[in-house]
Amino acid sequence: MKIHGLQKMTLLDFPGRVACTVFLGGCDFRCPFCHNFELVIGTAPPVMDDAELLAFLEKRKGLLDGVAITGGEPCLHPDLPELMRKIRALGFAVKLDTNGYHPELLGQILDEGLADYIAMDVKNSPEKYAVTCGVEKMDLAPVRESIRLITEHGAGSGSGAAAGAAAAETGAADDAPSFDYEFRTTVVKELHEAADFEEIGQMIRGARHYFLQSFTDRDTVPFGGFSAHTPEDLRRFAEIVRKYADDVQLRGVE
């Protein structure tokens, strides 16, 4: 597998872990506010392969305890579960970022207990999902199925950090491992309004964690003209979702 980026250390990408972040290329969405668009369209060249990544991780034992896998969309790669197995065999906890559009592969990962933490993007309310993803039309059934898989596998699970610690000691997953998860939405003023969060809340009903992330403009965002909601607006949107999810928080908001 080709690795298109590596952040050698982060305290932000994997909750509760000192981790590195691995970037995989390719995505089936074209979100116009994406921060990693060079990975989406393939203009970012590979920086290493999976063997080189594993060699890097071997040298970082004792310094890192987690690996966050993001993209692009990692679940486009059918060999992703094998990479996750190899990373876990080295004693690292694994976090997966996904857009939720590949429930078959996600289900395999969940069934095998290969992820200690999963973060799934919930882009918008159903009627705005396609435009928010930058596509003409889309079937939301895969998104809904991924939400179901994550929440059902996560029901009654213990702390993802505890699960990762156990995995680090054994180098393998339990038969029914605990993991933690979150759903999250990057909130863009031109794409999101209060009514959308009522519908998002209904989509993720019963979720453990939900984060509203404030949009931040960068040079890598493919299209201009997007801006952030005010902190007051974001707090109001969070209140709407709180009746559906156990824990609702803001990111990128002071």
Amino acid letter for position 148:
R
Angstrom distances, CA of residue 135 to CA of 32, 132, 138, 186, 245: 10, 8, 7, 17, 28
Asked whether residue 116 is domain-assigned, the answer is: yes
Asked whether residue 31 is domain-assigned, the answer is: yes
The contacts of residue 13 (CB under 8 Å, 6+ apart) are 7, 19, 21, 68, 70, 95
Residue 206 has pLDDT above 50, yes or no: yes
Task: Quote the pLDDT of residue 156.
Answer: 58
- Of 31-45, 83-97, 104-118, 136-150, the range with the lowest mean pLDDT is 31-45
Asked whether residue 199 is domain-assigned, the answer is: no
Q: 3-state secondary structure string, 147-179?
A: HHHHHHHHCCCCCHHHHHHHHHHHCCCCCCCCC
Q: For 16, left (φ over 0), alpha (ψ -120 to 50), or beta?
A: left
- CA-CA distance, 160 to 167, in Å (whole number)? 10
Q: Which domain holds residue 36?
A: 2-184
Task: Quote the pLDDT of residue 157.
Answer: 60
- Of 21-25, 184-188, 213-217, 233-237, the range with the lowest mean pLDDT is 213-217
Query: Which stretches of 60-193 are DSSP H helices?
Result: 80-89, 103-112, 129-133, 141-154, 160-170
Q: What are the pLDDT digits (tens) for 119-176?
A: 999 999 999 999 999 999 999 999 999 999 999 998 756 443 333 333 344 344 444 4
Q: What is the DSSP string of 224-236?
A: ----PPPHHHHHH
Where residue 48 sits, what CATH number does that domain have? 3.20.20.70
Partner residues linked to 118 by β-bridges: 96, 181
Task: Quote the pLDDT of residue 39.
Answer: 84
Asked whether residue 162 is domain-assigned, the answer is: yes
Task: Quote the pLDDT of residue 176.
Answer: 45
Q: What is the mean pLDDT of the chain?
A: 90
Provide the Cα torsion 129, 117, 96, 201; round to 10°. Answer: 0
Asked whether residue 216 is domain-assigned, the answer is: no
Buried b (16+ CB within 10 A) or exposed e, 33-60: bbbbbbbbeeebeeebebeebeebbeeb
Confidence of residue 220 (pLDDT cuts 50, 70, 90): low
Domain count, the chain: 1
- CA-CA distance, 204 to 216, in Å (whole number)? 24
Confidence of residue 36 (pLDDT cuts 50, 70, 90): confident
- Kindly state the percentage of the chain with pLDDT values over 70: 90
Show the tokens assigned to 40: 């989406």
Report the predicted TM-score, pTM, of the whole model to 2 decimal places: 0.89
Show the tokens assigned to 237: 């949107």
Asked whether residue 252 is domain-assigned, the answer is: no
Q: What are the pLDDT digits (tens) for 2-14?
A: 999 999 999 999 9
Tell which residue, 180, 177, 32, 65, has the closest CA to residue 120.
180
Residue 240 has pLDDT above 80, yes or no: yes
